[in-house]
């Protein structure tokens, strides 16, 4: 918990520091007197005065400011301003500078947030890291029945520079597991998250998706698919294509004496096809479970780059249905924890994500014991003692302990343990670091602006907005995954702050820019009285928006903690 708070404050500090750094650099360049550069809000904790400027840290670690002569959030009277900056030559006051210089000073703050995003994306691209395969792969996994993806028409891609003819009957229909998405509306797709975001932002319009499908002979066929993402269920708040990430079937454990062991499969083997069809982790499990008694499963295996075909006969074993169990924190005694549950399982009200299994059949719980009992009890059940952690320090829910019986369904299996996700090394070539960082920053900017437009148009619910609580959740979760995700998410948040600060609302930088534009047209500034009234209205709007977003964040957090959704 303490580490999470420190990470959050560090991220917030970096975002604020770069924003205010933009303001002070521009102010100094324009010869404006800067009295204070503060990271954090008053009261002042510590700092040092270098020249005319006090560089300090405030006690409240939220926000920061640059205090310039002649520039105040709440307009001062001439007497108040004279008392504060009377010793400063008038030509060094912010409000005495030309409109274009003041415009640059205000604009520099949000601009530096965009620069920070470029820098962070560039560091991630240049340094590289071991990342989940789904972060760098655009293959699709399971396709939901009757979803836009399942019903999408697909046309074989024409030659370079030639448009696809959508007036003729399609060559085939429906995306498949293993298809790789290359572009959406001409924009290159980097990972499956890009696909999901484009679906949300593309609600109500037909998107042109270019996919590549692997054929059995090792070749690839390229298709162009026009598709409109929609809400799949009445309870959905966002539009979707109806696809999930592709999780490679990576073997990381083999049960002794199992069909897989007898077939000679090894740890590290990757199963690419089953009965001739491209499969991912979910599809492989479903295919294996549904193999009739006595039937043979033909699989294609990739072992260190060498591919071969093998046959294996699944056997009947026990398996929990609708629930995934694993170890979240190895330091927490390595206890099995519920990772996720299906919608159907949720209705049973038995276990929820986050529940910790402490005992199995009266013995101290371990993943090995749980898996052994699960496998050997098809059609039976397992007694477990469960601890349900408290939520929000016990304010929403206190810690609970209870016992339960987990039913074990009989299924078909070959005796392999599959990796939850495959990790791969990823680094961008040196010559592509700068272009990639600019591309990702511009992509984040484009998506953020489009999100604002959808909110204004009413096509996106304000309940999807996130504030400090969501930023805390995102940054702390990202930090556990590694620096690559923390830096990437911080970059994306920085772009969001850039756009948010440019909104034409009083109190925000965007509102100040509007004042300057009006002054430039009128050839004189708005009266202090008008500015004060507008600042008050703007402050009320910002406080209201902040409260709404925070309540929304907390509600979403509580719902997720209680129900796992």
Bridge partners of residue 57, in order along the sequence: 39, 46
Domain layout of the chain by residue ranges: 2-127+466-563, 140-245, 249-318, 321-407
Coil, strand or helix: which one is 417?
strand
- The residues near 65 (Cβ < 8 Å, ≥ 6 apart) are 20, 36, 38, 41
Residue 58 burial (C-beta neighbours within 10 Å; 0-12, 13-18, 19+): buried
Q: Of the candidates 85, 73, 90, 69, which has an alpha carbon nearest to the alpha carbon of residue 27?
A: 69
158 phi/psi in degrees, rounded to 5:
-75, 180
The 3-state secondary structure of 250-300, one letter per residue: EEEEECCCCHHHHCCCCCCCEEEEECCEECCHHHHHHHHHCCCCCCCEEEE
- Kind of pairing between the strands at 297-303 and 277-278: unpaired
Task: Give the Å distances, CA to CA, from 442 to 19, 136, 180, 306, 451.
Answer: 18, 18, 23, 40, 14
Q: Of the candidates 68, 129, 100, 20, which has an alpha carbon nearest to the alpha carbon of residue 501?
A: 20
Bridge partners of residue 60, in order along the sequence: 41
Domains 140-245 and 321-407 share a fold: yes
DSSP state of 145: T
pTM assigned to the model: 0.80
88 phi/psi in degrees, rounded to 5:
-90, 130
Q: What is the pLDDT along the chain (565 residues), one digit of tens a residue?
A: 678 888 888 999 999 999 999 999 999 999 999 999 999 888 899 999 999 999 999 988 888 899 998 877 655 666 766 777 778 888 898 888 999 999 999 999 999 999 999 999 999 999 988 888 988 899 999 999 999 999 999 999 988 778 888 999 999 999 999 999 999 999 989 889 899 999 999 988 999 999 999 998 889 999 999 999 998 887 777 899 999 999 999 999 999 899 999 999 999 999 999 999 999 999 999 999 999 988 999 999 999 999 999 999 999 999 998 888 888 765 556 789 998 888 788 877 788 888 999 999 999 999 889 988 998 999 999 999 999 988 776 677 788 999 999 999 999 999 999 988 898 888 889 999 999 999 999 999 998 998 888 888 877 777 777 777 778 788 888 888 888 889 999 999 999 999 999 998 888 899 889 989 988 888 888 787 787 788 778 778 888 888 888 887 777 777 766 665 5
Right CATH number for 321-407 from 3.90.550.10, 3.10.620.30, 2.60.120.330, 2.30.42.10?
2.30.42.10
- What is the per-residue pLDDT for 57? 93
Q: What architecture (CATH level 2) is domain 140-245?
A: Roll (2.30)
- The residues near 170 (Cβ < 8 Å, ≥ 6 apart) are 153, 154, 155
- What is the per-residue pLDDT for 234? 74
DSSP state of 94: G
Residue 439 burial (C-beta neighbours within 10 Å; 0-12, 13-18, 19+): middle
Structure tokens at 148: 């836009």
Residue 405 burial (C-beta neighbours within 10 Å; 0-12, 13-18, 19+): exposed
Other C-beta atoms closer than 10 Å to the C-beta of 244 total 18
* CA–CA gap between residue 24 and residue 27 (Å, rounded): 5
Q: Domain 249-318, what fold?
A: Pdz3 Domain (2.30.42)
- The residues near 523 (Cβ < 8 Å, ≥ 6 apart) are none
Can you list the pairs that 92-98 forms with residues at least 24 positions away whose Cβ atoms lie under 8 Å?
Answer: 92/31, 92/32, 92/33, 93/32, 93/33, 93/69, 94/27, 94/32, 94/68, 94/69, 94/70, 95/70, 95/71, 95/525, 96/70, 97/30, 97/31, 97/32
């Amino acid at each position: 918990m303490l580490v999470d708070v420190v990470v959050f404050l560090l991220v917030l500090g970096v975002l604020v520091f770069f924003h205010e750094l933009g303001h002070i650099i521009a102010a100094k360049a324009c010869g404006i007197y800067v009295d204070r550069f503060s990271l954090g809000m008053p009261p002042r904790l510590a700092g040092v005065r270098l020249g005319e400027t006090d560089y300090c840290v405030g006690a409240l670690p939220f926000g920061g400011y640059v205090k310039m002569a002649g520039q105040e959030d709440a307009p001062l009277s001439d007497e108040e301003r004279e008392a504060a900056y009377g010793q400063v030559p008038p030509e060094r006051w912010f409000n005495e500078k030309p409109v274009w210089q003041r415009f640059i000073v205000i604009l520099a703050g949000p601009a530096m947030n965009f620069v920070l995003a470029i820098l962070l994306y560039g560091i991630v691209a240049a340094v590289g890291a071991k990342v989940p395969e789904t972060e760098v792969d655009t293959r699709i996994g399971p396709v939901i029945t009757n979803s836009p993806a399942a019903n999408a028409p697909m046309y074989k891609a024409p030659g370079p520079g030639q448009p696809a003819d959508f007036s003729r009957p399609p060559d085939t229909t429906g995306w498949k597991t293993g298809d790789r998405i290359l572009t959406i509306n001409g924009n290159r797709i980097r990972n499956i998250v890009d696909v999901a975001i484009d679906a949300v932002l593309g609600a109500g319009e037909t998107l042109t998706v270019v996919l590549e499908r692997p054929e059995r002979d090792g070749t690839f066929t390229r298709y162009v698919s026009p598709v409109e993402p929609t809400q799949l269920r009445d309870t959905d708040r966002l539009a979707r294509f109806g696809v999930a990430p592709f999780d490679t079937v990576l073997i990381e454990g083999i049960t002794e004496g199992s069909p897989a062991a007898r077939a000679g499969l090894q740890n590290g083997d990757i199963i690419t096809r089953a009965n001739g069809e491209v499969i991912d982790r979910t599809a492989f499990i479903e295919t294996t479970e549904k193999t009739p008694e006595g039937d043979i499963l033909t699989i294609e295996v990739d072992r260190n780059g060498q591919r071969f075909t093998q046959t294996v006969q699944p056997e009947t074993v026990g398996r929990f249905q609708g629930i995934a169990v694993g170890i979240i924190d190895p330091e927490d005694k390595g206890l099995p924890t519920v990772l996720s549950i299906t919608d159907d399982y949720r209705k049973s009200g038995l276990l929820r994500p986050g529940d910790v299994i402490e005992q199995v059949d009266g013995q101290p719980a371990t993943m090995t014991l749980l898996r052994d009992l699960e496998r050997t009890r098809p059609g039976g059940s397992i007694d477990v003692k469960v601890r349900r952690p408290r939520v929000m320090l016990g304010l929403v829910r206190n810690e609970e302990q209870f016992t339960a019986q987990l039913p074990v369904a009989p299924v078909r299996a070959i005796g392999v343990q599959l990796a939850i996700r495959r990790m791969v090394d990823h680094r961008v070539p040196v010559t592509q670091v700068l272009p990639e960082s600019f591309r990702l920053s511009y992509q984040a900017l484009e998506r953020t602006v489009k999100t604002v437009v959808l909110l204004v148009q009413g096509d996106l619910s304000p309940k999807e907005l996130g504030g400090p609580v969501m930023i805390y959740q995102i940054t702390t979760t990202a930090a556990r995954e590694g620096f690559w995700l923390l830096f990437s998410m911080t970059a994306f948040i920085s772009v969001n702050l850039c756009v948010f600060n440019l909104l034409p609302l009083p109190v925000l930088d965007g509102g100040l820019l509007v004042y300057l534009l009006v002054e430039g047209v009128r050839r004189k500034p708005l009266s202090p009285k008008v500015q004060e009234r507008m600042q008050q209205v703007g402050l009320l709007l910002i406080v209201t928006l902040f409260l709404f977003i925070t309540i929304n964040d907390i509600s979403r957090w509580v719902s997720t903690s209680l129900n796992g959704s």
